[in-house]
């Protein structure tokens, strides 16, 4: 039997610039791998990050990506400039990829159940 250790939380903060998009994709891919997500779900998480980060790049400022894990799920939060109510193309893609997505106070949260 093997046990999967997952981090309690992780945070990435930086400028919302095109040059930093690959850093955000690598960050969320690492989170997915550490949490034990299947490769296809990790790819979906990277696509979601790319779409949301693209929305943030269109506005200027900083972006913050945070993640928390429990034994049951991985929650990833995206916060960036120009996001008020989630009415962006990137948000529409995220909603199509994940079932548990919410927007509150300019923060998009998505919860991904972890398999037992």
pLDDT in tens, 32-71: 988 889 999 999 999 998 888 887 887 777 888 888 888 8
CA distance 31 to 74: 9
* 90 within 8 A of 96, measured Cβ to Cβ: no
Residue 57 lies in a domain: yes
| The total number of structural domains that make up the chain | 1
In a domain, 3, yes or no: no
Euclidean distance between CA atoms 84 and 32, whole angstroms? 26
What is this structure's pTM?
A: 0.82
Mean pLDDT, the chain, as a whole number? 83
The reply to whether 31 falls in a domain is yes
Q: Which CATH number characterizes residue 23's domain?
A: 3.30.565.10
Give the pLDDT of residue 84.
58
Structural domain boundaries, residue 63: 10-113
Is 1 a domain residue? no
Cβ-in-10-Å burial (0-12, 13-18, 19+) of 63 comes to buried
pLDDT at 1: 36
């Amino acid at each position: 039997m093997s046990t999967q250790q997952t981090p309690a939380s992780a945070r990435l903060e930086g400028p919302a610039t095109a040059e930093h998009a690959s850093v955000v994709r690598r960050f969320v891919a690492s989170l997915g791998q550490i949490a034990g997500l299947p490769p296809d779900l990790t790819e979906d998480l990277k696509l979601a990050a790319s779409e949301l980060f693209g929305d943030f790049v269109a506005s200027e400022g900083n972006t913050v990506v945070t993640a928390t894990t429990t034994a049951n799920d991985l929650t990833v939060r995206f916060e960036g400039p120009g996001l008020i109510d989630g009415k962006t193309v990137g948000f529409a893609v995220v909603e199509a990829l994940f079932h548990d997505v919410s927007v509150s106070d300019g923060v998009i949260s998505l919860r991904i159940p972890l398999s037992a």
